[in-house]
Amino acid sequence: MKRYRLLVFLLGVAVLAGLTVYAGAGAVLRAFVALGAGGLAIAVAMHGAVIAALGLAWWAVGRGAPRKYMAARLVRDSVAEVLPFSQIGGFVVGARALHLMGFSLLSASLSMFADLVAEFAGKLPYALIGIVALVYLLPGSRLILPMSLSLAAGMGGVTLAVVYRARIMAVIEKGAAGMARKWTRLEAGEAWRQEFERVFARGRFLPSFAIHFLCWAFGTAETWVIFALMSVHVTVLEALAIDSMVSAIRTAAFLVPAAAGVQETGYVLICALTGISAAEALALSFARRARDIAIGLIGLAFWQFLEARRVEKQSA
């Protein structure tokens, strides 16, 4: 499995390098440098606020000390974006970070699972809105039919989720039990079922869903601001289409470590539909990666602090 992850990661890096050559390394560099240190600082600050809000979304299903969920979310995203692991690695380490801060393994694991479901649920309407934006921006395009079919399929999925909520929750519970046994060796006993029902209660799940949706929607603002700082003109509707579609592509490729190559390909393809050059699209992707690395180094340092503190307590 480790060899597979390494191979996929290296393939992604190769794709990234190939796209840079295709777009023109000089043009990409000029567009990225136009962002400047001040622009990067603004991007970091904006996304730092998003991570804090995502921590609150996790807290909404788990409850406890909000700042600990924010810190655990920072660790989770840092591992997923900076280290050569898939997003699954970030999920596991994020739950571990919460456990190291005093939460039971059961609570940390199941609240993480519920938060992931809420996050995916919040991303779906954002992606559907992005498809609508693309349909509006590209009248007469050959892509209208496949995009319309995707929109119809997505709406149908939402309808089925509402109608068959009980059955879907049963499937989710079964999946959560399997993941718990695999990653944490927790068995689905009575305490497990009570905790599962607690984190998936509507009064907790719906607020988490709403926060996640708002965070995804804020990605539009982040994209628009970064482009503006690079002196690339895009409309809010174009920024919405670009960010929502690339977010959906990254989700589909969650097994690719750091979405290497996938993110860049997504930006080049979607930006091309709105008339943005490949160089400017790659500069946006590199700005996003620079932002994630700057934030990620802080998260990784905090994770190592938690691990060192655990070792110190055990040896005391």
Q: What is the pLDDT of residue 169?
A: 61
State the Rg of the chain over Cα. Answer: 20
Q: Where are the domains of the chain?
A: 2-315
pLDDT per residue of the chain (316 residues) written in tens, 0 to 9:
556 666 766 676 677 677 777 676 777 778 778 888 899 999 999 999 999 999 999 999 998 899 999 999 999 999 988 887 767 788 889 999 999 999 988 888 889 988 988 998 888 889 889 888 888 888 776 766 676 676 666 666 656 655 555 665 666 666 666 665 565 555 556 677 788 888 888 899 999 999 999 999 999 999 999 999 999 999 999 999 999 999 988 887 777 777 777 888 889 988 988 889 989 999 999 999 999 999 999 999 999 999 999 888 887 6
| Residues 72 and 98 sit within 8 Å (Cβ to Cβ) | yes
- Per-residue pLDDT tens for 181-219? 565 555 556 677 788 888 888 899 999 999 999 999 999
By C-alpha distance, which of 126, 114, 101 is closest to 57?
114
- Per-residue pLDDT tens for 268-299? 988 988 889 989 999 999 999 999 999 999 99
Q: How far is CA 19 from the centre of its chain?
A: 23
| Residues 180 and 186 sit within 8 Å (Cβ to Cβ) | yes
